[in-house]
Amino acid sequence: MINKIPSFTPPVILVIKYLSYIVFGLGIILSIRFNRGRVFLIILLLTLSELFLNYYSRLSITSTTYYQILYLSICILIPINIVIFSHLKERGLFSMWGKIRISFILIELFVIHKIAMLDNSLIYKILNFKIINIPLDKAFMNQTVLLIFLLAVIFLIIKAYVKKNIFAVQLVGVLISVFIALFFINDKLSFSIFLSAAGLMLIISIIEDSYSMAYLDELTGIPSRRALREDLLKLGTKYVIAMVDIDFFKKFNDKYGHDVGDDVLKLVASNLTQVTGGGKAFRYGGEEFTILFPGKSINDALPHLESLREQISKAAYTKKSTKGQKSKGKSTNSSKLFVTISIGVCEKSSKFKQPQDVIKGADKALYRAKKKGRNCVSK
């Protein structure tokens, strides 16, 4: 038990006791500042739940009712709500949707309070329903709570794996921390510490989201032009910059539509991230990308760029037939589309002294690659 550790002095114990409220307060401020609605809802839920559990006596709830109904109800409420919030789209905190979601949490807790006040034996039996005959006499949590937490964690793990959802991964950690906190409900210091850990994970998710918005391109997921500008400041005295452009992208976009065009941009970007030779890809804008090769010469970079160009020319995008085509009796088979790229490359030299000069040199080389017939690398 954490509160039995002799090294903790009374002031430290006091800070730990209220640490979760400090962390939750910071999380609420940051979620409002960065308009992270889902994180705000989870922190609000955890804060109000902690207040309910710590100050239940002020709500005229007896100790017996607390353990038999209130505690178990909140243990069930938290994982279910976290799973629901993981599915929600960001709609703004103080929009109509945001107010509805906040009201939903308040109504849930109000209903739980009213249920606890009833002190009904039927409610107790429902909450303590035994799925299998395993004694859990020493723990306040029952089989229903354990099962719901387990199902919630499994659901989020599957979601994280299938949809590559980083937020779901973070919520797995939050759920585990909350579970441990609730398991040690009678050890107030342990309860506060593990709730604080859950709050810190949510704060980290806000910071990571903010970083992604600032430095990663929303469509392709690769570093954006802002990230490129910062990396240019870190370059040494020897480096190569390559400018990459998708050939005939405008005609391609006009013919097949913007949705297919976006998918092609993602396809090209995913291949660019696989560039070898120490290169790092960025989205420059539109259908243009940039690749940096720190510490390399132009002769070092060329074989890797040629390999990349060939790789992309062979990477097919599978375009599925639309519903309209299917209804007209046309072929429903998926068709494969191929795109090529042109690359202009330039290295730092006495002629191109600054990064912006090297970029301009790479742009001119890109123009020469276009004049040569595209799908080639020019220096």
Q: What is the sign, positive or negative, of the torsion defined by CA atoms of 40, 173, 47, 196?
A: negative
Q: Determine the Cα–Cα distance for residues 64 and 121; give it in Å rounded to an integer.
A: 12
What was the pLDDT predicted at 295?
A: 94
**Cβ atoms 201, 174 nearer than 8 A:** yes
Write the burial class of residue 207 (CB in 10 Å: 0-12 exposed, 13-18 middle, 19+ buried).
exposed
What was the pLDDT predicted at 148?
A: 93
pLDDT in tens, 245-279: 999 898 888 888 888 889 999 999 999 999 999 99
- For the cut 80, the answer to whether the pLDDT of residue 340 exceeds it is yes
Mean pLDDT of 354-375: 94
Q: Determine the Cα–Cα distance for residues 230 and 228; give it in Å rounded to an integer.
A: 5
What was the pLDDT predicted at 267?
A: 92
**Cβ atoms 269, 311 nearer than 8 A:** no
pLDDT in tens, 38-79: 999 999 999 999 999 999 988 888 888 888 889 999 999 999
Q: Determine the Cα–Cα distance for residues 1 and 187; give it in Å rounded to an integer.
A: 7
**What percent of the chain lies above the pLDDT cut of 90?**
60
- What is residue 342's three-state secondary structure? strand
**What residues does 319 pair with on adjacent strands?**
335
Taking domain 225-378, whether its CATH number is 3.10.20.340 is answered by no
Mean pLDDT of 158-162: 93
CA dihedral 364, 367, 371, 376 (to 10 degrees): 100
Mean pLDDT of 366-378: 93
Mean pLDDT of 2-12: 66
More confident residue, 292 or 16: 292
What was the pLDDT predicted at 5?
A: 52
Question: Running DSSP on this structure, what letter comes out for residue 291?
Answer: E
- For the cut 50, the answer to whether the pLDDT of residue 329 exceeds it is no
pLDDT in tens, 201-233: 999 999 988 888 889 998 999 999 999 999 999
What was the pLDDT predicted at 268?
A: 94
Q: Determine the Cα–Cα distance for residues 225 and 55; give it in Å rounded to an integer.
A: 51
Q: Determine the Cα–Cα distance for residues 379 and 361; give it in Å rounded to an integer.
A: 9
- For the cut 60, the answer to whether the pLDDT of residue 333 exceeds it is no
- What is residue 271's three-state secondary structure? helix
What mean pLDDT, rounded, does the chain reach?
88
Q: What predicted TM-score, i.e. pTM, was given to this entire model?
A: 0.76
- For the cut 70, the answer to whether the pLDDT of residue 332 exceeds it is no
Q: Determine the Cα–Cα distance for residues 305 and 298; give it in Å rounded to an integer.
A: 10
Mean pLDDT of 190-197: 95
More confident residue, 318 or 28: 28
What was the pLDDT predicted at 331?
A: 46
Q: What is the sign, positive or negative, of the torsion defined by CA atoms of 99, 38, 262, 365?
A: positive
What was the pLDDT predicted at 2?
A: 54
